[in-house]
Structure 1
Amino acid sequence: MSPQSYHVHVRRIDGARNMARFYALSIERTLFGEVSLLRAWGRVGTRGQQRIDVCPDEQQALRLFLSLLRQKRQRGYAPCNTRPLPALPARSSRSATPAASWS
Structure 2
Amino acid sequence: MNRCGKTDSKLSLDLHFSIGDSVAMLAQPYHLYIERTDATKNMARFYSLSIEPTLFGTPCLTRRWGRIGSGRQSMAYHFDRKEEAVAMFLDLLWTKRARGDVVFCRD
TM-score > 0.5 by shorter chain = yes
1:45 to 66, 69, 72: 69
User: Which of the numbers 29, 41, 45 marks the counterpart of 1:5?
Assistant: 29
What displacement does 1:8 show?
0.6
- Among the aligned pairs, what percent are the same residue? 44
Q: Does 1:66 align with 2:90?
A: yes
Aligned partners of 2:28 and 2:92: how far apart in 1?
A: 19
Higher Cα Rg, which structure: 1
* Deviation of the 1:2 alpha carbon: 3.5
Which of 60, 78, 83 pairs up with 2:102?
78
Q: Which runs of 5+ in 2 are unaligned?
A: 1-24
With structure 2 as the length reference, what TM-score do the two structures score? 0.70
In structure 1, distance between residues paired with 2:26 and 2:56: 17
Give the whole-Å Cα distance in 2 for the aligned partners of 1:22 and 1:66.
17
Distance in 1 separating the partners of 2:32 and 2:99: 16
The root-mean-square deviation of aligned C-alpha atoms, in Å, is: 1.5
Structure 1 stretches lacking a partner, 5+ long: 83-103
Instruction: Report if the CA contact (8 A) 2:26-2:52 is conserved.
Output: no
Moved over 2 A (4+): none
Could you say what secondary structure the match of 1:20 adopts? Answer: strand
